[in-house]
Amino acid sequence: MRLVRMLTVATVAALALAGCGGADDKPAATPTGGKVTGTVTVLAAASLTESFTAIGKEFEAANPGVKVTFSFGASSTLATQIVNGAPADVFAAASPATMKQVTDANLAVSPTVFAKNQLVIAVPKGNKAGVRTIEDLAKPNLKVALCAAQVPCGAAATKALAAANVKVTPVTLEADVKAALTKVRLGEVDAALVYRTDAQAAAADVEAIEFTASAQAVNDYPIVAVTKAPNSAGATAFVTYVLSDKARAILTKAGFQNP
């Protein structure tokens, strides 16, 4: 009996060792989501150009071999492109209303607000027209540029002007905030309502004038991985990175407010 017990113990030990050796010979299981590879295509609001470009470079550095490609423009235009089938992994909009176009089409679920932005009055360096307040934009001889009403910066301008009880007759309605700002930088208009972040990015050419009523028209910026993303793992990883402390530091430096 004693001999039988010794043989049994030896057999069990041998089997255990064999099992351990077999496990070591197999490659480790890939974690859920796997390694991020390939190209991540991001459609983002024009006002995110500078900050997302910087975030994209950091994301690429953290994920060697990954390439982030951006398409910046008016959020409403980008939303329409996604609904019409344009390939996209991530959508970052300048307003919940434009994001809703994509979620209503069942192309995105549960977007997350990652930043806020507020309007300022942008004037050319030197401010020759002498703009000081939001009320000054109503002066008949002043040339003012606004964003078109269907894009987030235009909707915010409409709300802010209503809150200030000021009526403005713009000489031009632009497709996005960058286009409105360009009019100021080129001296083609005396002023424009743009996001604080865009005025800050163009500080070498324009001056920013804060106004109280802009607090009534703060825009939330939502981001989401598109449900039919060609690179779903990359989309999820990029969204997660945008919500990280490192990305938030870049956004804060650019003038965005925390959500």
What pLDDT shows up at residue 35? 83
Q: How many other C-beta atoms lie within 10 A of the C-beta of residue 21? A: 9
Q: Residue 45: which of 11, 12, 17, 81 has the closest Cα?
A: 81
One domain for residues 199 and 139: yes
CB 66 within 8 A of CB 73: no
| Section 19-34 average pLDDT | 35
What are the tokens at 232?
């779903």
Q: What is the mean pLDDT of the chain?
A: 89
Which CATH number do you get for residue 86? 3.40.190.10
67-76 average pLDDT score: 98
Q: Is residue 12 situated within a structural domain?
A: no
Full domain range(s) for residue 62: 39-116+220-253
Look at residue 13 and tell me whether its pLDDT is greater than 70. no
The pLDDT value given to residue 170: 98
Query: Domain for residue 104, yes or no?
Result: yes
Same domain (yes/no): 179, 142: yes
| Residue 23 Cα to chain centre, angstroms | 44
Q: Could you tell me if residue 156 is left (phi over 0), alpha (psi between -120 and 50 degrees) or otherwise beta? A: alpha
Residue 31 lies in a domain: no
Residues 133 and 207 in one domain: yes
> Are residue 64 and residue 94 in the same domain, yes or no?
yes
Separation between Cα atoms, residue 40 and residue 238, nearest integer Å: 8
Q: In whole angstroms, what separates CA 178 from the centre of its chain?
A: 15
Average pLDDT over residues 140-150: 96
The H-assigned helical ranges of the chain are 2-25, 49-62, 75-83, 96-104, 152-164, 177-185, 196-201, 232-242, 245-253
Residues 185 and 60 in one domain: no
39: tokens are 């190209």
Residue with tokens 């009534």: 216
Whether residue 168 is contained in a domain is answered as yes
The pTM score is 0.84
Same domain for 67 and 99? Answer: yes
Give the model's pLDDT for residue 31: 32
Contact 170, 145 (CB under 8 A): yes
Three-state DSSP at 215 gives helix
| Residue 22, in any domain of the structure | no
- Residue 258 within any structural domain of the chain: no
For residue 225, being part of any structural domain is answered with yes
Report pLDDT digits (tens) over 31-71: 334 589 999 999 999 999 999 999 999 999 999 999 999 99
The answer to whether residue 14 sits within a structural domain is no
* 183: its two tokens: 């009019």
The pLDDT of 71-92, averaged and rounded, is 97
Q: Identify whether residues 69 and 80 lie together within a single domain.
A: yes
pLDDT exceeds cutoff 60 at 21 = no
Model confidence pLDDT, tens digit, residues 96-141: 999 999 999 999 999 999 999 999 999 999 999 999 999 999 999 9
Residues 163-176 have pLDDT tens digits of 999 999 999 999 99
For residues 131 and 81, membership in a common domain is answered with no
Tell whether 123 and 210 lie within a shared domain.
yes
Domain count, the chain: 2
